[in-house]
């Protein structure tokens, strides 16, 4: 079964879903809000790489960045998540943005 990417028109959530080519023609639903108002996205193709290749590319990226620069580190963390197939979610993205701007999160530091 092919894997398609969708974006919810209601809440903006981007998600992937296996879509069957058989009689099961159920509409894709947003996992966040349950809406069926979704649009299919054009997916990037990927090349399967070995775990060693993935870690080598991440090591190169880490060596090229400035470990003391929050922007550089945020970029590296995002790249690591993408390479490893992990989505940190909105809370994670918000935390990275706070780190880049030097803001404190809710309930911290007061």
Per-residue pLDDT of the chain (110 residues; tens, 9 = 90+): 577 899 999 999 999 888 776 655 678 899 999 999 999 988 766 666 777 877 777 777 666 666 677 777 777 777 777 766 666 677 777 777 777 676 655 544 44
**Residue 88: other Cβ atoms inside 10 A:** 15
Identify the bridge partners of residue 6 per DSSP, sorted by sequence position: 15, 40
CB 65 within 8 A of CB 74: no
Domain positions in the chain are 3-41, 51-101
Per-residue pLDDT at 39: 93
Per-residue pLDDT at 7: 94
What whole-number distance in Å separates Cα of residue 29 and Cα of residue 34? Answer: 5
CB 60 within 8 A of CB 76: no
């Amino acid at each position: 079964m092919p894997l398609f990417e969708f974006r919810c028109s209601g809440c903006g959530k981007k998600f992937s879903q296996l879509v069957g080519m058989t009689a099961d023609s159920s509409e894709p639903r947003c996992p966040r809000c349950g809406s069926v108002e979704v649009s299919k996205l054009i997916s990037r193709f990927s090349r399967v790489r070995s775990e060693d290749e993935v870690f080598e590319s991440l090591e190169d990226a880490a060596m090229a960045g400035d470990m003391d620069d929050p922007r550089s580190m945020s970029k590296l963390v995002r790249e690591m998540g993408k390479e490893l197939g992990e989505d940190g979610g909105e809370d994670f993205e918000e935390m990275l943005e706070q780190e880049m701007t030097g803001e404190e999160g809710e309930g911290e530091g007061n």
